[in-house]
Amino acid sequence: MLAHAVESYLSVRRACGFDLISQGNLLRSFAAFSDARGKHHVCARTAIEWSGLARSVYQRARRLGHVIRFARYVRAEDRSHELPPAVYGSTKQPRRTPYIFSPDDIVRLIHAAAQSSHPFRRQTYRTFFALLACTGLRVSEAIRLRLEDITPDGMLIRNSKFRKSRLVPLHHTARYGLERYLNDRLSYAPFDNHVFVSLRGTPLHIIEVERTFRSAADRIGLQVTGQRHPTPHSLRHTFAVRALEASPDGRERIAKHMLALATYLGHCKISHTYWYLEATPELMEGIAARCESFVTGGQP
C-alpha cells in the first residue's frame, strides 16, 4: 500500500529536520487517489492525473514535484515504482522583489500601529513592530519569544525555520525599549510566559498581527508598487537590505559580511541572503559598477 510507503518517507525526512506538513497531506492524498484506482505502486500516469486536479500550472508542478521526490525514495528499494516526468515544468517560481520601507515609513508605521484606545495594546504593537524593524526577526519568531529567551547576550530564537536556533544580539536602544514594555507587560499578564501577549493575556496570533499591520499601513497611505505590497515580513526584508547596503568594501570583507548576515537571519542557504541584492536600485547599481570595473581591468 502506498500509504505505508508515504508514512515511511515522511518519517525519514522529518528526522532530517523537515516539517513537511502540507507536503505530507498532499502525498497522503496522492496515495489515497492511487489506491482507489488499484495502483499500489507509483504510476506516472496516475501521478500526472492527480497533479492535474490542481487549479494552476504552478500548483500542478508543485504537487507532481512532491510525488517525484517520493518516487525517488521508494524506487531505491522497489523498482516497480515509476518515476513521473516533470510535465508541468519547474516547481520553483521566481521570488517577488521585496517591499522595502524608507526610514520615515518605519517611524510612521510604528506610530500608526500604536493608535489604539487601550494603552497596553498601543505599547504592545509599538514594541512588536519596532523589534521586527531593528532585528530582522521573522514574525513567527517574535510571536514565539518567551521571557526566558531574553538574555544578557541577546534574544535566543529557539527551533525556528528548519528547527534551527540562534542568538540575536540587541542594540542597547532596542533592549531599553523591550525592557520598558516588559515592565508593564509582566504586571498586565503575569501568568503567561510569552513576551508579547494580547489584551486577553494570551500570545499574539498571526492573524491579529497582520490585521493591525494592514490597518496601520492603510492609515499612513503605504502604496502597493506593482506586485510589491507591504506586509509585516517586509520589515525583515528591509533590515536585510539595509544591512547589505552597509557592507564594507573588498571581496573578502563582503563575503564575511554576507556569511554573518545569513547566520544572523537564520537562513539555511547563503543564496537566500544573496537574493536581497536585487531588492533596491542602490544595491544593483553597486553590483553593476563593480562588474564594469572588473571587465575593464579593475578590482572586483
26 located within any domain: yes
Where does a domain end: 195, 220, 245?
220
81 located within any domain: no
Q: What is the pLDDT of residue 295?
A: 53
DSSP letter at 208?
Answer: H
Q: What is the pLDDT of residue 299?
A: 57
59 located within any domain: yes
Question: Do 171 and 269 belong to one domain?
Answer: no
**Domain housing 6:** 2-75
- 3-class secondary-structure state, position 189: coil
Q: Could you tell me if 222 and 230 are in contact, meaning their C-beta atoms sit under 8 angstroms apart?
A: yes
Question: Do 66 and 111 belong to one domain?
Answer: no
Please choose, from the candidates 66, 185, 230, 204, the residue with its C-alpha nearest in 3D space to the C-alpha of residue 50: 66
Phi-psi region of 11 (alpha: psi -120 to 50; beta: other; left: phi over 0): alpha
User: Residue 157: enclosing H or E segment and its boundaries?
Assistant: strand 154-157
20 located within any domain: yes
* Tens of pLDDT, residue by residue, the chain (300 residues): 799 999 999 999 888 777 788 899 999 999 999 999 999 999 999 999 999 999 999 899 999 999 999 999 999 999 999 999 999 988 777 677 788 899 999 999 999 998 888 899 999 999 999 999 999 999 999 999 999 999 999 999 987 766 678 899 999 999 999 999 998 888 888 888 999 999 888 899 999 999 999 999 999 998 776 667 899 999 999 998 888 888 777 667 777 777 788 877 887 776 777 666 665 556 555 655 555 555 566 655
Domains: count for the chain: 3
Question: Do 128 and 213 belong to one domain?
Answer: yes
Q: What is the pLDDT of residue 250?
A: 64
Question: Do 138 and 183 belong to one domain?
Answer: yes
Quickly count helices (H) and strands (E) in the chain: 13, 3
Q: What is the pLDDT of residue 288?
A: 54
Please name the residues in contact with 66: beta carbons below 8 A apart, sequence gap of 6 or more: 23, 26, 27, 30
94 located within any domain: no
Question: Do 148 and 215 belong to one domain?
Answer: yes
Q: What is the pLDDT of residue 293?
A: 59
Q: What is the pLDDT of residue 289?
A: 58
Question: Do 138 and 207 belong to one domain?
Answer: yes
Question: Do 179 and 117 belong to one domain?
Answer: yes
In the chain, the amino acid numbered 39 is K
Residue written as grid cell 523589534: 131
269 located within any domain: yes
CA atoms within 13 A of residue 124's CA, in its CB half-sphere:
28
User: What distance in Å separates the CA atoms of residue 184 and residue 180, rounded to the nearest whole number?
Assistant: 7
